[in-house]
Structure 1
Amino acid sequence: MTERRRMLTGDRPTGKLHLGHYVGSISNRIRLQREYDSFFIIADLHMLTTKNTVEDIGKVAENARHLVLDSLSAGIDPEHATYYLQSAVPEVCELNTLFQNLVTVPRLERIPSLKDMARDAHKEEMPYGLLGYPILQAADIMCVRSHVCPVGKDNAPHVEITREIARRFNHLYGEVFPVVELINAEVPTLVGTDGQAKMSKSIGNVIYLSDTPAEVRKRVMGMYTDPNRVRADVPGTVEGNPVFAYHDAFNDNKAQVEDLKTRYREGKVGDVEVKEKLAEAINRFLDPMRERRAKYEEQSGLVDQLIVEGTERTRREVQATVFAARKAMGLTGAFNSIRRKAERAAKKAATQ
């Protein structure tokens, strides 16, 4: 019987998931979850690259629960998901060490998203751990020997680093790791509600998957639109307008969207109506999630159980991967040779 192919992706436990996460990765996770053996990392070691205070770390457990509950509510089936806490699988750090010599500093410095992450975290200089973020991410992906990785646009260059490391490792030491396939999102980046940057928890320009209808409406009504449109009878610009980008992504009534676009360009509809319709559409989109959330919240301890069982399963898988990598490299043989010689010497000394 052919072994089932695997998928790995996940999130840092820095807060709740939002619509940007959904279009960037979660929608693909939902679509592919039954096709692959699915591993979902709660990447708290990655969080330390930009959030490493005692207070930040103290929030990991609660934020991990939010991540799992949010993704279950979005449509992940707990029967088809292995969630695990990254820091509870220490063997991944050994893989990180083995991989870090297979990529150069200049190669990492060419990844633009790392500079963006440092800027968003208000870091004047890039920490060593942030520069090495893609290497640890490669260890995450390859620790369970994943075949596919659905991620958002920002992480696509990181996955390419993973592919390069896998090829180099396999070339140097023998075939151990699959060369992972990147699965791109249909909506590469979702602009934030402020219209100034991508949707980001650190900036706060977000609509959360767990928002109430009233919270959604408040966030939508405060959204940025066409800055040159001062009255409803002034023709407006649809292209690049965040409100219409959200309509395209989340409004299931496509005829309504086209009507709003036409009237907006002609100066025959106000921003208030366009936003009202968007709030209604996003709430329709989130309503099934709210129903699933209520169902899962009634099952006391479910989320914690999923994380514990998933972490235990993942650690067993990673231990097997590390053993295979060390064996391929000859590291296991080196120590065994030294140990056998030491044992022979000890035995000889004991008989004298």
Structure 2
Amino acid sequence: MSQKILTGDRPTGSLHLGHYVGSLTQRVALQDTSSQTILIADMQGLTDNGHTPAKVSGNILNVLADYLAVGIDPERTVICLQSGLPALAELTMYYANLVTVSRLQRNPTVKAEIAGKQFGASIPAGFLSYPISQAADITAFRADLVPVGDDQLPMIELTNEVVRKVNQVAGSEVLVECRPLLSKVSRLPGVDGKAKMSKSLGNAITLGSDDAEIERAVKKMYTDPNHLRIEDPGSVEGNVVFTYLDAFCPDEALVTRLKEDYQRGGLADSKLKCLLTECLQGLLAPIRTRRARFLSDPAGLMAILRTGTEKARAETEETARKVKAAFGLDFFS
């Protein structure tokens, strides 16, 4: 297991189908071939929830249960809590002195999120600088591979800039650069057709959704607004239902035939939505059952999180010690 992988999520709500198809299945596979750490990034969750911290603290165990329910094994993957690793905050402080405000403001991912959250001039300092915190997370574990969506590529670029600057200050290779691992499936749109499925936008199907919630969500999905009658030819491009069928229907040949029928005309949107509903209900039913079982034992979940965090602490503290020395601040070492 030569590859070291770091991945994670902000615990601001339960994980959803976008997480599942974009990264969770990938993480399950990677734990057999790599040394993988999953970080529950609760401190980063506060960057836009500082005044409503219960939204973060109240979802930590939900996210952990989501991981376990999809097949993440804490015996093969270290699962740890960001706030339980003080070295990450220390590294963030060091790195903040190497990154300019203008560099953060140019980050396209941050710019898009600031616009989407409509902060205006009231941008929390923590939110503007959270890419520095992500760089601290990645480098603390000396991760050389980071599973991300394409919208997170600017974060990897900034992390490697920090690595090079620290190494320049140190005069040696204290930190290692990382590379992104993109998922095979592109970013999943929300059920409302918006570009991204998001908990904050309310357009997500969570892993804990029951059958009725799934059915309601699928009924709301956009198809082709010009497909007014069954016999009308319909468009597949931009059709959210087909996007989801591509991602979740195991019968690829069936989806291909349905696309052809839809484009010719004669296939009802309701038939497509019925098929998608059945696919998603079949996928999420066992996950939902396992998730509920894990959540029924909060002490067991906390034990898993405590064990993983303790494993991660020594590794992150060693990285912080080296960076501290690079800045000449290791007086008491």
Q: Does 1:260 align with 2:286?
A: no
Over 6 Å off, 4+ runs: none
The residue aligned with 2:156 is 159
Equivalent in the alignment of 1:134: 131
2:113 corresponds in structure 1 to 117
User: What residue in structure 2 maps to residue 346 of structure 1?
Assistant: none
Q: Shift of residue 16 of structure 1? A: 0.4
* Stretch moving more, 283-292 or 131-140: 283-292
Q: Which residue pairs with 1:42 in the alignment?
A: 40
**In structure 2, what is the Cα distance between the partners aligned to 1:59 and 1:131?**
20
173, 185, 197: which one pairs with 1:175? 173
Deviations 1:79-134 (A, max 9, x none): 11222221222221110111122223332222122122223333112332222111
Q: Aligned pair 1:71/2:59, yes or no?
A: no
Q: Does the CA-based 8 Å contact 2:47-2:126 persist in structure 1?
A: yes
One-letter amino acid of the counterpart of residue 146, structure 1: A
TM normalised by structure 2 equals 0.93
Q: What displacement does 1:183 show? A: 0.5
Superposed, which structure 2 residues align to 1:164-313 within 5 Å?
164-173=161-170, 174-293=172-291, 296-297=294-295, 301-313=299-311
Equivalent pair of 1:50/1:118 in contact (CA under 8 Å): no
**Offset at 1:4?**
4.8
Asked if 1:146 is matched to 2:143, the reply is: yes
SS state at 2:26 partner: helix
Deviations 1:141-198 (Å, cap 9, x if unpaired)?
1112112111222222111111121122123311121211211111231111001231
2:149–2:183 Cα contact (<8 Å) kept: yes
Over the matched positions of the two proteins, sequence identity in percent amounts to 42
CA deviation vs aligned residue, 1:274-306 (integer Å, no higher than 9, x gap): 000111112232244235335535656221111
Which amino acid is the alignment partner of residue 318 of structure 2?
A
Looking at structure 2, the residues matched to 298 and 163 of structure 1 have their Cα atoms a distance apart, in angstroms, of 41
Unmatched segments (≥5 aa) in structure 1: 338-352
- The answer to whether the aligner puts 1:103 opposite 2:99 as a matched pair is yes
Gaps of 5+ in 2: none
SS at match of 2:261: helix
Q: Deviations over 1:232-261 (max 9, x none)?
A: 111110011111010101110112211211
Deviation of 1:311 after TM superposition, in Å, equals: 1.6
What amino acid is aligned across from residue 103 of structure 1 in structure 2?
A: V
Q: Which amino acid aligns with 2:183?
A: A
CA contact (8 A) 1:24 1:153 kept: no
Partner of 2:76: 80
Question: What amino acid maps onto 1:147 in structure 2?
Answer: D
Aligned residues: 331
Deviation for aligned residue 1:205: 0.7
Over the aligned positions, Cα root-mean-square deviation in angstroms equals: 1.9
3-state SS of the aligned residue for 1:79? Answer: coil
How far apart in 2 are the matches of 1:143 and 1:279?
42
